[in-house]
Amino acid sequence: MTPDVRDRTDRPASIGRLPGEGGCPIPESSWDRALRLIGQADEVALACHVNPDGDALGSMLAVAFVLRSMGKRVVASFGDRIFAVPRLLGFLPGQEMLVPPEEYPAAPDLMIVFDCSTFERVGLLGANAASAREVIVVDHHPSNTGFGTLDLIDADAAATAMLAEQLVYRLGGRLDRDIATCLYAGLVTDTGSFRYSSTTPAVHQMAARLVATGLRTDEIARELWDRSPFGYLKVLANALERVTLEGRLVWTYVSRVDRAAYGLPYSELEGIIDIVRRADEAEVAVVLKEDDHGDWQVSTRSKGTVDVAAVCAALGGGGHHNAAGYTSYETVEETMAKFRRELRRVS
């Protein structure tokens, strides 16, 4: 019998409501089935979304640690054509469990996919997922309609890390510092350091459990937000030089030529949207980031009145009401023309 979190005597008194308890849309029967599938598997193949952020990679690695401690063979990956952990997530423990997509099992018995709002976000590992016997989808995107053979989706959770924490407990695992570091990376990333409206009491309660393991939250914050290569300042300056305010839309772009001048990796651009969205006059902020393949990754943010997830969904992407994105294969001008059109339609 796999222990149930509610029966565990070592559950911290301060645990409060876990996602999944009291009104959460994930039924107990789904958790039970997940535990059964994992219990039966000798090998578990984990995946998270392409261009992984702290929530995707952190949730996946946290669960990887627990599965490994249960004696499972574990592989973990994400389906990017250029397989590299972003520098700012380099501090996450457990990266020895990562394998590039070409070394991933072609048809896993059991695959668990984290923080992927759509099947497309599984990227190159989509073929592996399509051939897998069972696929468990662990996610918190409201737009996720469920593409697994078993879906553990809670659109009210601030981060997939909240569901990953619950999976850790339900598998009988204990929070140690490594697991807590991974989960904390997910929680702080997706709540914007506990600033977004998704930051509920349950989020702070989870943070308390994680911090109690001895986390250096100051060091994690510095790794995630307070350091960059010098070239970032130059690329940022360039992006801000051409930032444009059009009514209630503020936007800019960063090309790969801009980055090449300073040898700046694509993943260093993640924070630019947080600077651009400061403009008081704007309701919606957009940053177009050209990746190493020449495709434009479009980051969008709303202050609340506009549902950017709806705009991005219409353009082939998705996300959350206030933070969403998509990929564009057109020029900056064409991309923005289509974005403006969809924005007008939605708002």
Q: Which residues lie near ligand AMP (CB under 6 A)?
A: 117, 121, 141, 273, 299, 317-320, 323-327
The span from the CA of 191 to the CA of 207, in Å, is 11
Q: Toward ligand AMP, which CB reaches closer, 91 or 119?
A: 119
Helices (H), the chain: 28-40, 54-69, 126-131, 160-170, 177-190, 201-211, 217-225, 230-241, 256-260, 272-276, 308-314, 332-346
**Residue 126 contact partner, candidates Mn ion, ligand AMP, none, CB within 5 to 8 A by sort of partner:** none
**Residue 318 contact partner, candidates Mn ion, ligand AMP, none, CB within 5 to 8 A by sort of partner:** ligand AMP
Q: Toward ligand AMP, which CB reaches closer, 147 or 326?
A: 326
Phi, psi dihedrals of residue 163, rounded to the nearest 5°: -75, -35
Q: How many CB atoms lie within 10 A of CB 341?
A: 13
Q: Which of 55, 223, 268, 270 binds Mn ion (CB under 5 A)?
A: 55
Binding mask 119-158 for Mn ion (x = CB under 5 A): ----------------------------------------
Q: Toward ligand AMP, which CB reaches closer, 55 or 134?
A: 55
Q: Which of 63, 74, 113, 115 binds Mn ion (CB under 5 A)?
A: 115
Residue 56 binding Mn ion, by CB under 5 A? yes
Largest CA-CA distance found in the chain, in angstroms, rounded? 61
Read out DSSP for 46-59?
EEE-SS--HHHHHH
Q: Which of 165, 190, 268, 291 binds Mn ion (CB under 5 A)?
A: 190
**Residue 122 contact partner, candidates Mn ion, ligand AMP, none, CB within 5 to 8 A by sort of partner:** none
User: Binding segment for Mn ion among 32-40, 144-152, 175-183, 188-196 (CB under 5 A)?
Assistant: 188-196
Q: Are 298 and 328 in contact (CB under 8 A)?
A: yes
Q: Are 72 and 43 in contact (CB under 8 A)?
A: yes
Residues contacting Mn ion: total by CB under 5 A: 6
- CA Rg value for the chain: 20
CB of 183 to ligand AMP, least distance (A): 17
Which secondary-structure segment (H or E) carries 92? none
Q: Toward ligand AMP, which CB reaches closer, 110 or 298?
A: 298
Q: Toward Mn ion, which CB reaches closer, 161 or 306?
A: 161
Q: Are 181 and 187 in contact (CB under 8 A)?
A: no
> Contacts by 225-228 with C-beta closer than 8 Å and gap 24+?
225/193, 225/271, 228/268, 228/271
**Residue 117 contact partner, candidates ligand AMP, Mn ion, none, CB within 5 to 8 A by sort of partner:** ligand AMP
Residue nearest to ligand AMP (CB): 325
Residue 165 binding Mn ion, by CB under 5 A? no
Q: Half-sphere exposure of 209 toward its Cβ, with a 13 Å CA cutoff?
A: 28
CB of 139 to ligand AMP, least distance (A): 9
Q: Toward Mn ion, which CB reaches closer, 171 or 323?
A: 323
What burial letters (b/e) apply to 69-98, b meaning 16+ CB within 10 Å? eeebebbbbbbbeeeeebebbeebbbeebb
**Residue 56 contact partner, candidates Mn ion, ligand AMP, none, CB within 5 to 8 A by sort of partner:** Mn ion
- Which residues here bind Mn ion, judged by CB under 5 A? 53, 55-56, 115, 160, 190
